[in-house]
Amino acid sequence: MANPVFNVCIDWDCPDWAGPHDFTGDDITDDVKHFRITRGKDRDVNTYPAATLEMLLENSDGTYTPTLNAKVRLWLPVRVQATYGGTTYSLYYGYLNRIAVYPIKSRQDIYFYATDGIDLLAKTIVVQDMDDKALMTDGAAVHRVLNAASWNSTRACTMQNAGDTVTDSDHGLQNGDIVMFSGSGIPAAIDTHTQYFVAWKTDHTFLVSTTADGLSLVEFAGNGSGYYHVILRRAIDLDGGDITYFPDTFEFIKS
């Protein structure tokens, strides 16, 4: 059985951490010796901390040393993907939070630590406009919080009753991707607290299902518009069975 092929990128030329991000030519996979992704519920304190990524990179030529390379800095976007069975999965998407250079010359590595968007949300201060007394739906309120945190996976869309399609030009989604919706104009059939699976996607439209197999499609029963948010936590089953969520910790060590 073939092993998954991993791909790690850092957007070195990112002008704004809030996006959009372009990882073209930013592949650092060959220099990655080890990475570890950790996510999940902290059962001791009953919280859901930010997902983290720890990486150890070969740095014998100083490529990743901040004092030698001005492009290496905090809050750059980091993306980890895996290709398996002809399909590419998003394993992690976050931002550099800590950089540590090993001081020992014989160990010429560098340590990168990243946290995901949940960490950004936790650090965001949302200021209420006391003059704005307008009521809003839960979805509209969630959308305001995500906007305040510059959540880069938020995209506008329209929903059509004919065909129950969601439209967003060049959305880039794949069947099985997980999305949530917000906004005051979404159809009543969409629950802002529910995660949906992308199904029957084309370049510019997709349907949504309540199950990963795409067989329980949502019928809108009305047109609408709003926003969708891509849930980047994806999974890969190395046994070739059904796609499942990753465990709390996923680790890769270069052989």
Start-to-end Cα distance in the chain: 17
% of the chain surpassing 90 pLDDT: 33
The chain-wide mean pLDDT, for the chain, equals: 79
Rounded to whole angstroms, the Cα distance separating 26 from 23 reads 5
**pLDDT top residue among 220 and 43:** 220
pLDDT bin (cut points 50, 70, 90) of residue 187 is: very high
* Mean of pLDDT values over 109-122: 82
pLDDT at position 180 is 86
- For residue 157, pLDDT over 60 is answered with yes
pLDDT at position 32 is 94
pLDDT bin (cut points 50, 70, 90) of residue 198 is: very high
* DSSP reduced 3-state for 156: strand
**pLDDT top residue among 134 and 77:** 77
* Mean of pLDDT values over 123-150: 60
pLDDT at position 178 is 84
- For residue 130, pLDDT over 90 is answered with no
- For residue 57, pLDDT over 90 is answered with yes
Q: Residue 45, CB half-sphere, CA atoms under 13 Å: how many?
A: 5
Yes or no: say if 96 and 111 are a contact pair by the CB < 8 Å rule: no
- For residue 236, pLDDT over 70 is answered with no
pLDDT at position 240 is 34
In this prediction the pTM is: 0.56
Rounded to whole angstroms, the Cα distance separating 72 from 99 reads 9
- Burial state string for 98-126 with b = 16 or more CB within 10 A and e = fewer than 16: ebebeeeeeeebbbbbbbbbebbbeeeee
Rounded to whole angstroms, the Cα distance separating 82 from 32 reads 14
Kindly report which listed range (48-52, 57-61, 148-152, 250-254) carries the lowest average pLDDT score: 148-152
Q: Kindly report, residue by residue over 160-174, the tens digit of the pLDDT.
A: 999 999 999 988 888
**pLDDT top residue among 237 and 99:** 99
CA Rg, the chain, in Å?
A: 20
Rounded to whole angstroms, the Cα distance separating 150 from 204 reads 24
